[in-house]
Amino acid sequence: MTTTVQTATGEARTMVLNMGPQHPSTHGVLRIVLELDGETVVKAEPDIGYLHTGIEKSCESKTYSQAITLTDRLDYLAPLSNNLCYCLAVEKLLGLQVPKRAQTVRVLLTELTRIASHLVWLGTHAIDLGAMSVFLYCFREREEILKILEMVSGQRMMTSYFRIGGLALEPPTGWLEKVQQFVKMFPSRLEEYEDLLTKNRIWMGRTKGVGILSAEDAIAMGVSGPTLRAAGVPYDVRKFFPYSSYEEFDFEVPVRTESDCYARYLLRVAEMRESLKIVQQAIPRIPAEGPIRTDAPGIVPPQREKMKTEMEALIYHFKIFTEGFSPPPGEAYQTIESPRGELGFYVASDGSPKPLRVKVRAPSFVNLQSLSKLTEGRLIADVIACIGTIDIVLGEVDR
Amino acid sequence: MAEKPELEQNPAIQRLRAWNSRAVSEVSELRGEITVVVPRELLLGAAELLRGDTNLLFNFLSDLTCVDRFPNEPRFELNYHLLSLSRRAKLRIRVRTSGSDPVVPSLTSVWPGINWHERETFDLFGVRFEGHPDLRRILMPEDWEGHPLRKDFPVEGFR
Of A18-32, A175-189, A254-268, A334-348, the least confident: A18-32
- Residues 6+ positions from B115 with CB-CB distance below 8 Å: A369, B108, B132, B133, B134
pLDDT exceeds cutoff 70 at A2: no
Mean pLDDT of A273-294: 89
- CB-CB contact of A396 with A360 (8 Å): yes
For A349-385, write each residue's pLDDT tens digit.
Answer: 998 999 999 999 999 999 999 888 888 888 888 888 8
If phi over 0 gives left and psi between -120 and 50 gives alpha, with beta otherwise, what is residue B9? alpha
Q: Are A70 and A354 within 8 A, CB to CB?
A: no
CA A93/CA A88 separation, integer angstroms: 9
Contact A76, A158 (CB under 8 A): yes
Q: Which among B31, B63, B88 has CB closest to A346?
A: B63
| Residue whose C-alpha is closest to residue A358's, from A74, A77, A55 | A55
- For an interface test with A, the pick among B116, B118, B123 (most A C-beta atoms closer than 10 Å) comes out as B116
- Under an 8 A CB cutoff, do B155 and A331 touch? no
Amino acid code (one letter) for B123:
D
Q: Which candidate from A52, A92, A357 shows the least CB-CB separation from B140?
A: A52
The amino acid sitting at A135 is F
pLDDT at A12: 61
Q: Give the closest of B88, B113, B137 to A240, CB-based.
A: B88
Model pLDDT, residue A306:
85
Q: Considering the entire predicted model, what is its pTM?
A: 0.90
Q: Which residues of A292-308 are buried (b: 16+ CB within 10 A; e: fewer)?
A: bbbebeebbbbeeeebe
Chain B residues in contact with A52 (beta carbon < 8 A): 139-140
Residue A274 has pLDDT above 90, yes or no: yes
pLDDT tens profile A129-178: 888 889 999 999 999 999 999 999 888 888 889 999 889 888 898 899 99
**Average pLDDT across chain A, whole number:** 88
